[in-house]
Amino acid sequence: MPGSKIHWLKFLLVAAGICCLQPLMAHTINYALNNAAVHKVATFYFKLGFTHIIPDGFDHVLFIIGICLINTKLKSIIWQASAFTIAHTIALALSMKNIIVAPAPLIEPIIALSIVFIAVENMLLSELKPWRILLVFLFGLIHGLGFASALNEIGLPSDKFLTSILMFNLGVEVGQVLIIALVYWFLIHRFKERSWYRTRIVYPISIFIALVSASWTVERIIG
């Protein structure tokens, strides 16, 4: 297990290096909103961020569900969710500011692999380890680059960069918090005291997440 963690960290560091070596490019301009009122821009990008998670971001949804299942402690979820949020916020801002440019064919398979990893760990561990938080942070950086790739397809108004980024990220966060709340209330809070909680809830859901994400990984590599 320690060796596999080292290999994962090496893989992520190499991927990050490749991203940093990509030529810098200006983000695309959303000319339709370039001269729009601030409230219209804010509303548009908030909705865009939210729908990027619900209903369009099934891979991100599975990742969020995955970080909820390592144990039944709300503190564990908060630690991981905070690390993920900070990381993808940093990566999104850096990418849209052209400091890091990541090719989607590299990022998308890694996102899928990160979900597989979290799901498998949920079946092997029942306590939150410090290195798990570090890995979630690293995965959050990768997911943030994925958010940036999707956002760059639509573009940003040239004169409202900060508003657009903040509202998009807020929409993403609201979507994530909603998923966490639903998972905690309907699965964890209601059944955490049951003796069969891990065997009937954690294991089956984690296996499903791992299998689906593994298939995505293959599709994204060959597709």
Q: Averaged in consecutive runs of 10 residues, what is the pLDDT profile of the chain (223 residues)?
A: 49 45 55 87 96 95 97 96 95 86 87 97 94 96 91 86 92 96 96 96 98 97 87
C-alpha span between 101 and 96 (Å, rounded): 8
Q: Which residues contact 28 (CB under 8 A, 6 or more apart)?
A: 152, 153, 154, 155, 156
C-alpha span between 106 and 110 (Å, rounded): 7
- Cα 185 to its chain centre, rounded Å, is 21
- List the helix and strand counts (H, then E) for the chain: 10, 0
C-alpha span between 95 and 116 (Å, rounded): 25
**Global model pTM greater than 0.95:** no
Q: What are phi and psi of 107, to 5 degrees?
A: -70, -45
Complete DSSP assignment for 12-31? HHHHHHHHHHSPP-PPPB-G
pLDDT of residue 19: 44
pLDDT of residue 27: 61
pLDDT of residue 25: 42
pLDDT of residue 24: 40
The secondary structure of the chain in percent helix, strand, coil, rounded to multiples of 5, reads: 80, 0, 20
